């Protein structure tokens, strides 16, 4: 059965892929995005678009007019390093903006909200790798603190107001339309540098690891959350670690194959405060509940992206 769905951040990297998938399934989709990082070129022509900030009082007008049944919340300040430099600005969007959205969801009787959280940031440095949802989070950046705060607000709105939710804690997402912004865009950044035969800068020694998941798998997991996982949270990743040094080699191979004349030039800088050493998500729970069926491995994903 087709549904009326609002997507915040629907002109962004992940949000636009989700909107495309929802439209393809026949749902009526409304996009809310302030275009601070989202792009008009990412917008699906079959979705209705409102250029509105999630923290604005104008968001109420969108809810009053459209009355969405389901809400996907992806709008955010996504740069971990920026959140460290300016935590107040980060909180304005990621906490206060999210609260404004939740108030509208409550007031206009939304059936369910699906929240894009961050497994790649929330857990912090932990001894349990891959990390399951049962590990107590130790966020090491204002960005991660804000994501965890919104998760707890969601639980409050469910218990007090009956607003259903599903939380998806993403690993490091990559794919087409990725903005070369902060660590989240590391594959896009490295790919461009390698194509231009420019040196690559790596913060730290390059042995830090991340769990890279393809954006189309993330979009599928979101759609599954419409009917599954109510009032629960799930890690959305691959369960596999890739260190940054090996990632660079994989990208080079994906672009040029085994051409010996292509030499990688790498510059190493000091580790950035707030960035964790190892990150990999345990996805047993998501697999069990059908969120990650037939997911794409990094070799296939890089080939498709590049």
Catalytic residue positions? Answer: 143
Q: Which two three-digit tokens encode residue 84? A: 């460290």
Task: Please state at what angle helix 244-256 crosses helix 186-195, rounded to 10 degrees.
Answer: 50
Q: How far apart are CA 237 and CA 172, in angstroms?
A: 8
Spatial contact of 52 and 110, defined as CB atoms under 8 Å apart: no
Q: Where are the alpha helices (DSSP H) in the chain?
A: 13-24, 59-66, 80-85, 87-91, 98-107, 119-122, 142-161, 186-195, 215-224, 244-256, 284-288, 298-305
**Cα 227–Cα 23–Cα 105 angle in degrees, nearest 5:** 55
Nearest to 12 by CA among 177, 216, 189: 177
Residue 300's CB: how many other CB atoms inside 10 A? 11
Phi first, then psi: give them for residue 173, nearest 5 degrees: -90, 140
Distance of CA 246 to the CA centre of its chain: 22
DSSP classification of residue 97 = I
Distance of CA 252 to the CA centre of its chain: 25
Q: Which two three-digit tokens encode residue 73? A: 């919340």
Count of residues in the chain: 306
Beta-bridged to residue 155, according to DSSP, are: none
Residue 253, classified by CB atoms within 10 Å of its CB into exposed (0-12), middle (13-18) or buried (19+), is middle
């Amino acid at each position: 059965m087709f549904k009326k769905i609002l997507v915040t951040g629907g002109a962004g990297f992940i949000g636009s892929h989700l909107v495309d998938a929802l439209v393809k399934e026949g749902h009526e989709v409304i996009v809310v995005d302030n275009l601070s990082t989202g792009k008009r070129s990412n917008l699906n022509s079959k979705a209705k678009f409102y250029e509105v900030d999630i923290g604005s009082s104008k968001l109420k007008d969108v809810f009053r007019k459209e009355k969405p049944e389901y809400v996907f919340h992806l709008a955010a300040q996504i740069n971990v390093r920026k959140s460290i430099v300016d935590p107040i600005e980060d909180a304005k969007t990621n906490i206060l903006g999210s609260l404004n959205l939740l108030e509208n969801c409550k007031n206009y009787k939304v059936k369910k909200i699906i929240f894009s959280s961050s497994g790649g940031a929330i857990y912090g440095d932990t001894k349990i790798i891959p990390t399951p949802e049962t590990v107590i989070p130790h966020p090491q950046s204002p960005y991660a603190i804000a994501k965890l705060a919104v998760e707890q607000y969601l639980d409050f709105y469910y218990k007090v107001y009956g607003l259903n939710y599903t939380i998806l804690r993403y690993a490091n997402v990559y794919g087409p339309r990725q903005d070369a912004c902060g660590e989240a865009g590391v594959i896009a950044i490295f790919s461009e540098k390698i194509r231009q035969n420019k040196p690559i800068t790596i913060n730290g020694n390059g042995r830090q690891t991340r769990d890279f998941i393809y954006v189309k798998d993330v979009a599928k997991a979101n759609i599954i959350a419409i009917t599954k996982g109510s009032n629960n949270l799930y890690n959305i990743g691959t369960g596999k670690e890739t260190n940054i040094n090996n990632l660079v080699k994989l990208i080079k191979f994906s672009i040029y194959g085994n051409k010996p004349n292509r030499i990688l030039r790498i510059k190493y800088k000091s580790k950035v405060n707030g960035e964790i050493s190892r990150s990999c998500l345990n996805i047993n729970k998501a697999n069990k509940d059908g969120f990650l069926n037939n997911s794409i491995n990094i070799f296939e994903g890089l080939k498709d992206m590049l």
